[in-house]
């Protein structure tokens, strides 16, 4: 893996001369900045290899906000060149989630199977002829080469390098193959890949919008595979070719792609193209500061939506993972996020994904919803609980939802919280009486709270519930008296 060095020191250790530092910094600026008067075009380019990670949702959001703020275009591109990891239905799922979240794209594939935009196709597996053409151009220019090394040789090379504590990278055996050998091998259809010819001297430098000046030592950058033995391009070639042909001006992506950036810049240079601006946003972390992963909880955006988190709350929450407007405000509508978002204020350090904070924020959105709208959103969860909604009626259902609205954190909280309205409660005699005996309550003339405790439990079967009079108002006189009698008989041992 390529190793980043301080662009102002010129290497991992020691200080470079002032002239060298200036050279690096100037070169970085020269490489990375597109003309300022060019229309902003950004892209979100997920791979349909499974669920849409909440980190990917944040990446999509930041690209969307940046494009809308700058009056630019937000492009959706599906990067499906890794055929071994494709998951059926993944593309349709991510299209649905982006739509649900309100992140409408200007160009790209649509849910109806069609595309919009003049730079298509927007699905990489449909662009293989384009990549092949550009790979051949690099070979003609001496910027790439055919590699016929077997998987066995590469594995032995890796093991040897690891044993000697060396960077695991290709040793360049096929870089200088004779043309006649290459021609013969190709004629015999020998399995091969195409690799980028990476210069082994100097540094590759760029200025990242989030991280500032960054440099990588070229000697530690692998001769990256551009075209695999199955004829499909790797992420690196397809990414650069598509970004250029689709006129992408700004690449906003996760920190995990930072080490790939020098390879991409070298590809831009090999083609003679101007690279876009780069902004690498921080990783999402668990509360223990480990990388957010499914081993410690949900990481799929779809899972959070299924669990009753509102899309607007989830969007608000992920927007603040690594960025804040510099004020105390925490609740933002999508138009407000478009107005205030600033990519230059995104932090470098990893952002902790705090589920408790998400619960609070989701609860705030629920509190502000109109009751009829909240009822509609809760209906699927109530139906899943097999409650007889027709029997209780629309008017009572709205009253029930209104009772719990202030306490709800997720839509999925509602079915269990209101179960006693649909089913007769199961009583525990121990909780029918408050901590103090009834005699003490009467003797001390205590307030309504303790006195009404048995009534609350009699109507709901629970220690914590809405007020007993509110419950009684919904249950009606007959059901209220019925439950009170059952509870009284239980108290009296009948």
Which residues are tagged catalytic?
294
CA–CA distance from 279 to each of 168, 218, 240, 284, 344 (Å)? 27, 21, 15, 16, 9
The answer to whether 294 is a known ligand-binding residue is: yes
- CA angle 383/388/391 to nearest 5° reads 140
Match 């300022």 to its residue by tokens: 36
Q: Which residues contact 219 (CB under 8 A, 6 or more apart)?
A: 200, 201
Cβ atoms of 121 and 152 closer than 8 Å: no
Residue 69: CB atoms within 10 Å:
16
Cα torsion at 48, 356, 397, 462 (round to 10°)? 130
* Cα(158)–Cα(170) distance, integer angstroms: 8
Q: What secondary structure does DSSP assign to 375-404, as a single string?
A: HHHHHHHHHHTT--HHHH-HHHHHHHHHHH
Reduced to 3 states (helix: H, G, I; strand: E, B; else coil), residue 359 is: helix
* Cα(483)–Cα(481) distance, integer angstroms: 6
Match 């193959």 to its residue by tokens: 177
Nearest alpha carbon to residue 16 among 26, 6, 1: 6
Burial class, 298, CB count within 10 angstroms (exposed 0-12 / middle 13-18 / buried 19+): middle
Q: Does the N-terminal peptide bond of residue 141 adopt cis geometry, omega within 30 degrees of 0? A: no
Q: Which residues contact 164 (CB under 8 A, 6 or more apart)?
A: none
Which own/partner contact pairs does 289-298 have at CB distance under 8 Å and 24+ positions apart?
289/350, 289/352, 291/350, 292/54, 292/55, 292/353, 297/355
Kindly state the greatest CA–CA separation across the chain.
Answer: 107
Binding residues for ATP: 294
Binding residues: 294
């Amino acid at each position: 893996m390529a190793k980043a060095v301080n662009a102002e020191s010129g290497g991992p250790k020691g200080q470079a001369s002032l002239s060298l530092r200036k050279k690096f910094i100037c070169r970085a600026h020269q490489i990375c900045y597109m003309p300022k008067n060019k229309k902003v075009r950004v892209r979100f380019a997920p791979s349909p290899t499974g669920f849409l990670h909440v980190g990917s949702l944040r990446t999509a959001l930041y690209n969307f906000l940046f494009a809308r703020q700058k009056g630019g275009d937000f492009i959706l591109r599906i990067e499906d060149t890794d055929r071994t990891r494709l998951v059926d239905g993944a593309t349709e799922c991510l299209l649905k989630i982006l739509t649900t979240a309100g992140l409408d794209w200007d160009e790209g594939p649509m849910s109806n199977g069609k595309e919009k935009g003049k730079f298509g196709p927007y699905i990489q597996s449909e662009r293989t002829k384009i990549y092949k053409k550009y790979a051949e151009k690099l070979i003609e220019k001496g910027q790439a080469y055919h590699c016929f090394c077997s998987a066995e040789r590469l594995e032995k090379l890796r093991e040897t390098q690891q044993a000697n504590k060396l960077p695991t990278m290709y040793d360049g055996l096929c870089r200088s193959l004779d043309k006649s050998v290459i021609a013969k091998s190709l004629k015999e259809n020998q399995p091969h890949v195409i690799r980028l010819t990476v210069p082994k001297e100097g540094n590759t430098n760029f200025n990242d919008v989030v991280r500032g000046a960054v440099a990588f030592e070229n000697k530690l950058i692998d001769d990256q595979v551009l075209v695999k033995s199955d004829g499909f391009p790797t992420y690196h070639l397809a990414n650069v070719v598509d970004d250029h042909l689709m006129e992408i001006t700004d690449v906003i992506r996760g920190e995990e792609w930072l080490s790939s950036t020098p390879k991409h810049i070298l590809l831009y240079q090999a083609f003679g193209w101007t690279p876009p601006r780069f902004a690498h946003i921080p990783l999402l972390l668990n509360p223990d500061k480990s990388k957010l992963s499914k081993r410690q909880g949900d990481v799929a955006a779809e899972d959070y939506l299924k669990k009753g988190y509102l899309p607007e709350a989830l969007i608000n929450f992920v927007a603040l993972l690594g960025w804040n407007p510099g004020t105390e405000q925490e609740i933002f509508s999508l138009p407000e996020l478009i107005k205030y978002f600033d990519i230059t204020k995104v932090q470098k350090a990893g952002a902790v994904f705090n589920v408790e904070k998400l619960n609070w924020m989701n609860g705030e959105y629920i509190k502000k919803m109109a009751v009829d709208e909240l009822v509609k959103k809760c209906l699927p969860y109530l139906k899943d609980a097999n409650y007889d909604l027709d029997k209780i009626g629309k008017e009572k259902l709205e009253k029930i939802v209104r009772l719990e609205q202030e306490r709800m954190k997720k839509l999925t909280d509602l079915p269990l919280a209101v179960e006693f309205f649909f089913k007769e409660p199961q009583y525990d005699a121990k909780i029918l009486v408050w901590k103090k005996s009834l005699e003490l309550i009467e003797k001390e003339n205590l307030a309504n709270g303790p006195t009404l405790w048995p009534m609350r439990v009699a109507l709901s079967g629970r220690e914590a519930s809405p007020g007993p009079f509110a419950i009684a108002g919904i249950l009606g006189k007959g059901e209220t008296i019925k439950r009170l009698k059952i509870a009284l008989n239980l108290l009296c041992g009948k």
